[in-house]
């Protein structure tokens, strides 16, 4: 069985406090986008999990991959057969697009179907939260308001209704941003705006209402991120923002031509880009 695992963008990202467990409290709107990896699993006679990857290289030890971790989380509680998993990586890593989290969450979803794992919805959500802060979002397929460290999900379909007909261009300037380092440099502050109210405001006005709290930090550290943001602004985007802890940035365009041209500009620089309509 195969799953095409989407990336996400953040619309607004407020870091509102530091928790006793060492994580931070966040408020953000997550929107899935059709920039996807492909993840396939099949049953294997040998116990455990065997993972192969193609496409973009995945750094780090195999046991740290969220696909592998997802398998072991379920196997620690349920009697499941061995599997062979294969992933084709298209979503840039260290970009704030949630590609690894999406892989891990969809591995849980595939195991549920392929291995007929019978567990309560709350158990699946707990497994997802144990994998990573963004993983619970990818257990469902809709835009959502997220709270806490990302594990509290409130569906928000109105944001996509509001963005219908808009186009997005995403530029990834090729640098890998460490999430740990980004959080280490952040100073929490109260949310300046209720993101649930965003669909009541014109996209052109969003820049006066919301922000990504990590953006200023990453722009100073990585000049190419600053360059990407400036290019999106100069290309006519109505709203420009870095997603997650970076380094991917996006612009919302009212017309397809400007979004497409901006994406092509990034591609000519050797950056990975994505362009689509809502």
Any idea which residues carry the catalytic annotation? 8, 134
Q: How many whole angstroms separate alpha carbon 227 and alpha carbon 77?
A: 48
Strands 24-44 and 167-172: unpaired
- 160 Cβ partners below 8 Å, 6+ apart? 31, 142, 143, 278
Instruction: Tell me the backbone φ, ψ of residue 235, rounded to 5 degrees.
Output: -85, 0
Q: What is the number of alpha carbons within 13 Å of residue 140 lying toward its C-beta?
A: 18
Give whole-number Cα distances, 98 to 36, 83, 103, 251, in Å.
11, 24, 9, 18
Number of H helices, E strands in the chain: 8, 10
For the chain, how many residues are written?
Answer: 278
Element (H, E) at 111: helix 99-114
DSSP string covering 135-192: GGGGGS-S-EEEETTTTEEEE-THHHHHHTT-EEEEEE-SPPPPHHHHHHT------S
Cα-Cα-Cα-Cα dihedral sign, residues 126, 17, 213, 174: negative
- CA 134 and chain centroid, separation: 7
């Amino acid at each position: 069985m195969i799953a095409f695992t989407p990336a996400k963008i953040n619309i607004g990202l407020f870091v509102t406090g530091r928790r006793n467990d060492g994580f931070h409290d966040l408020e953000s709107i997550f929107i899935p986008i059709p920039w996807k990896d492909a993840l396939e699993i099949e049953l294997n006679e040998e116990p455990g999990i065997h993972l192969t990857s193609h496409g973009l290289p995945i750094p780090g030890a195999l046991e740290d991959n969220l696909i592998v971790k997802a398998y072991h989380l379920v196997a620690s509680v349920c009697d499941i057969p061995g599997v062979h998993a294969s992933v084709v990586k298209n979503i840039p890593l260290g970009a704030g697009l949630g590609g690894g989290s999406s892989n891990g969450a969809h591995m849980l979803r595939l195991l549920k179907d392929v291995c007929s794992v019978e567990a309560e919805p709350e158990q699946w959500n707990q497994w997802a939260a144990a994998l990573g802060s963004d993983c619970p979002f990818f257990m469902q397929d809709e835009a959502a308001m997220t709270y806490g460290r990302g594990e509290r999900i409130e569906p928000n379909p109105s944001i996509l209704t509001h963005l219908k007909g808009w186009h997005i261009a995403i530029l990834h300037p090729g640098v890998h941003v460490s999430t740990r380092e980004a959080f280490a440099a952040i100073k929490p502050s109260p949310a300046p705006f209720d993101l649930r109210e965003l669909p009541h405001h014109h996209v052109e006005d969003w820049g006066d209402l919301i922000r990504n709290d990590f953006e200023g930090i990453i722009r100073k550290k990585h000049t190419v991120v600053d360059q990407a943001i400036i290019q999106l602004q100069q290309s006519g985007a109505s709203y420009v923002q870095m997603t997650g802890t970076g380094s991917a940035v996006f612009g919302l365009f009212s017309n397809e031509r400007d979004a497409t041209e901006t994406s092509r500009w990034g591609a000519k620089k050797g950056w990975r880009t994505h362009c689509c309509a809502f």
